[in-house]
Amino acid sequence: MSFERISKTLSGDSPGRSTELNYFRIGPVDAVQKVYLQAAMHADEQPGILILHHLLQLLRAADAAGELNARFVVFPMVNPLGMGDIEFGQHQGRYNRATGVNHNRDWPALYDEVGAKLGEKLGPDATQNIETVRAVLSEWVKSLPTVTAQDQWRQCVIGEACNADYVFDVHCDDDSLVHIFTIPQLADNMQQLANWIGADATLLAEDSGGGSFDEVWPAIWLRLARDHADKPIPLPVVSCTLEYRGACDTFDELNRQDAQNLYGYFQAQGLIGGTAISRQGEAAAPTDLRATEYLRAPQAGLLAYCVELGDRVEKGDRIADLIELDGEGAFVSRIPLLAGTSGQVISRKLNKYVWANANISKIVGSEILESRSGNLLSD
């Protein structure tokens, strides 16, 4: 039994700017499997903090009862640097102010970093290959730069996640239903997760563009398997981004239930013992992320939505009107914004003033769209 709080000081880039990063290790030190969870990578997304707060209590009780079969590493607020990003009374937290880069973009392509060191070390034993790759990754992490606070933060986070069997990155959207981003190779397992957490959509892409945190962990294994087809290279990590509704959906009882559902999934995976929690139900089947339309505003304006979250629409249906704010049509004319596919509306904008090319809705369809290629995520 072990419940350990770790606190790391990230030295600041200027005087008086050091930051405290807190996380937890729970469960048997010698456990065969490891589960890594983090929330608030985008620091302006708070539901995950409350969900992991409640999950910590459940894990602590299970640990005290000797019911944990895996080692859990939990970062309830993984990005304290972003939590301090407050400007004119408004919390920002999505971007690194020094570089302008989204905190959930440009995570290292692990194969590019260590792939060349692995070729001669891989052998005929799959289990040994997993250990070999993770050992090389762990050594590589030690060599990462630690000059800036951002460097120190990334080294710590990568070091804890690089040998995990499960990597769950907890986010939320703007105003949305629960959904999951993951890779096609994990569709079966993610269907189980979707059933447990009540996800309305599971969106699949092996490379959605941008180097998001959840995708870098399976990517190295898939690449190794393709480049070393004569060696047994399994996919030993279950990784995903969990979008828990919208930014305003931080409610104690709601997020307590989210934590219990997540706990139930881990029980079903054999990672936690004890009395089993009842499952939610059957979720929608996973779909290709390229079949999800990101409907965008053609110009600045004020949104007047014609649909609710969860509505099913047909191609050509009106999703919203954009009230013009300048020019001849200012405050008089409306521009109809029409669905480019048939499917379910899973997200909308909270703030109804939008600018040109702003993403105003996600519509999950089944038909792959010609317009969806390259970077499949909104920034």
In the chain, % of residues over pLDDT 90: 94
Residue 378 banded pLDDT, cuts 50, 70, 90: confident
Q: How far apart are CA 270 and CA 264, in angstroms?
A: 10
Mean pLDDT (whole number) for 227-247: 97
Encode pLDDT of 150-192 as tens digits. Answer: 999 999 999 999 999 999 999 999 999 999 999 999 999 999 9
Structure tokens, 216: 């870098």
SS3 363: strand
Count how many residues are written for the chain. Answer: 379
Encode pLDDT of 102-141 as tens digits. Answer: 999 999 999 999 999 998 899 999 999 999 999 999 999 9
For residue 150, how many other CB atoms are within 10 A of its CB? 20
What is the predicted pLDDT for the residue at 119? Answer: 85
β-partners of residue 35 are 72, 166
* pLDDT score of 1 more than 80: no
Encode pLDDT of 250-301 as tens digits. Answer: 999 999 999 999 999 999 999 999 999 888 789 999 999 999 999 999 999 9
Q: How far apart are CA 115 and CA 194, in angstroms?
A: 33
Encode pLDDT of 191-225 as tens digits. Answer: 999 999 999 999 999 999 999 999 999 999 999 99
- Closest C-alpha to 20, from 97, 93, 101, 84: 84
Strand order of the sheet with strand 201-204?
Answer: 3-10, 19-26, 70-75, 33-39, 166-173, 238-246, 179-182, 201-204, 287-288
Q: What is the pTM of this model?
A: 0.97
Let me know the angle formed at the C-alpha of 184 by 178 and 187, rounded to the nearest 5 degrees. 60
Q: Which residue ranges form the domains of the chain, and what is each CATH number?
A: 3-285 (3.40.630.10), 290-365 (2.40.50.100)
Q: Which residues contact 228 (CB under 8 A, 6 or more apart)?
A: 119, 122
Encode pLDDT of 295-334 as tens digits. Answer: 999 999 999 999 999 999 999 999 999 999 999 999 999 9
Structure tokens, 125: 């034993």
Across 259-341, where does the E strand assignment appear? Answer: 287-288, 292-296, 301-305, 312-313, 318-323, 334-338
